[in-house]
Amino acid sequence: MLAAVWFVQAQDQLPVRGFCIGSPDASHVDAFVKFIDEELAPRQVNTLVLRIDYNYQFESHPELIDEGALSKADVKKMVEVCKKHGIRLIPQINMLGHQSWAGKLGKLLSVYPQFDETPGVKMPEKYKWPNDDGLYCKSYCPLNPDLHKVLFDVIDEICDVFESDAFHAGMDEVFYLGDDKCPRCGGRDKAELFAGEVNILRNHLALKNRQLMIWGDRLIDGKTTGMGAWEASMNNTYRAIDLIAKDVLICDWHYERADQTPVLFAMKGLSVVTCPWRKPDLAVKQTQDMFRFRQQATSELKERYQGMMQTVWSGASSFLDEFYGKKVNEIESQSACFKALFTEINKVSTVK
Ligand SMILES: [Zn+2]
């Protein structure tokens, strides 16, 4: 018994206790600020990733502003409440992949069609998967010489307004990369193309002492692991794990099993955060694994096991409706997973 108590006391707090969600639209900012204040802060959440994309009134590139975009004042409300609670607020704009969703082209490629990696693939009237083009989401061409000027402008502006010391670049589920028909990328090594883009973004952010965060799926071998084309890579990008800068923080999402992939990242010298979605039992297992990895690691490896981050794939207003019971809350839901995750994190961290 004494040994068991000592074991728990020896546990430490996870460096990253995160929450990731689509940013609220302007009309839901106040409700979201209240949620940060009353629900995230008391659960000791210390990292909030907000998916912005072009949902902000960019001064540097007004042509990219999406409908109903957040104003600077909207963002500052969220900045202030996060400051009050010591929460690290981090904006996300999807880089490389996810430049379209279903039948809708994203803002970057609708304004700058010349950045499209696969201009020959037309957006369908009615999107269905699978389709003959293998169109999941569009990608931009990472070797277009005019691309990064635009991206760096919006990245810098969003990080400035968020007063953030980190940026999340997404980069998950990139299916179109090194397309044979692209005059710049065709025939190139996809792992090198992927790593090249990661490192360009990382180096730009490093100039202002900002950290890059990305999703981890492109760095896992989908064939050998059996994890497939979404959760891992079936297009040979996984060797990029050895080519990217070691200070990129990997957000390792697994929604079906408690895969032990954090060990892969940590042993490659990369820091990693495990991300559950909507299965409470799984989130608990993954949290216990994260504590166990830290406890059983060498001191070199331990600090690479950075913690946990709940991922919410709906927008903020829809999540808040679910969280506050305004719509039917099923056992496997994002809000149930979030509650279970932080109950577990705080149980292990605070038991005396
Ligand atoms: Zn290209």
Query: What does the DSSP assignment read for 69-117?
Result: PBPHHHHHHHHHHHHHTT-EEEEEEEESS-SEETTEE-HHHHH-GGGBS
Q: How far is the CA of 185 from the centre of ligand 1 (A)?
A: 4
pLDDT in tens, 99-122: 999 999 999 999 999 999 999 999
pLDDT level of residue 220 (50, 70, 90 thresholds): very high
Ligand 1 centre to CA of 211 (Å) is 26
Distance from C-alpha of 83 to C-alpha of 76, rounded to nearest angstrom: 10
- Give residue-wise pLDDT tens across range 25-77: 999 999 999 999 999 999 999 999 999 999 999 999 999 999 999 999 999 99
pLDDT tens string 171-219: 999 999 999 999 999 999 999 999 999 999 999 999 999 999 999 999 9
Give me ligand 1 centre to Cα 176, in Å.
9
Expressed in angstroms and rounded, the spacing between residue 16 Cα and the centre of ligand 1 is 35
Residue 351, pLDDT > 90, answer no
Structure tokens of 194?
Answer: 């992927």
For residue 265, the CA-to-ligand 1 centroid distance in Å is 28
Q: Check whether 98 has a pLDDT greater than 90.
A: yes
Q: Please give the DSSP secondary-structure letter assigned to residue 24.
A: P
The mean pLDDT value of the chain amounts to: 95
Q: What is the mean pLDDT of residues 216-243?
A: 97
Residue 157 has pLDDT above 90, yes or no: yes
Q: At what angle do helices 147-162 and 72-84 cross, to 10 degrees?
A: 50
Mean pLDDT for 75-86 is: 98
Distance CA 259, CA 252 (A): 10
Which residues lie near ion ligand 1 (Cβ < 5 Å)?
A: 117, 141, 143, 182, 184-185
| Pairwise CA distance, residues 110 & 295, whole Å | 48
How is residue 317 written in tokens? 């207003």
Closest CA to 196 of 133, 240, 262: 240
Q: Is pLDDT above 70 for 349?
A: no
> Cα-flanking dihedrals φ and ψ of residue 10, to 5°?
-75, -10
Residue 350's pLDDT band, with cuts at 50, 70 and 90, is: low
What is the pLDDT at residue 352?
44
Residue 325 in this model has a pLDDT that exceeds 80: yes
pTM: 0.95
- The whole-number pLDDT of residue 328 equals 73
Note the pLDDT tens digit of each residue in 256-282: 999 999 999 999 999 999 999 999 999
More confident residue, 7 or 292: 292
Rounded CA separation 58/93 (Å): 13
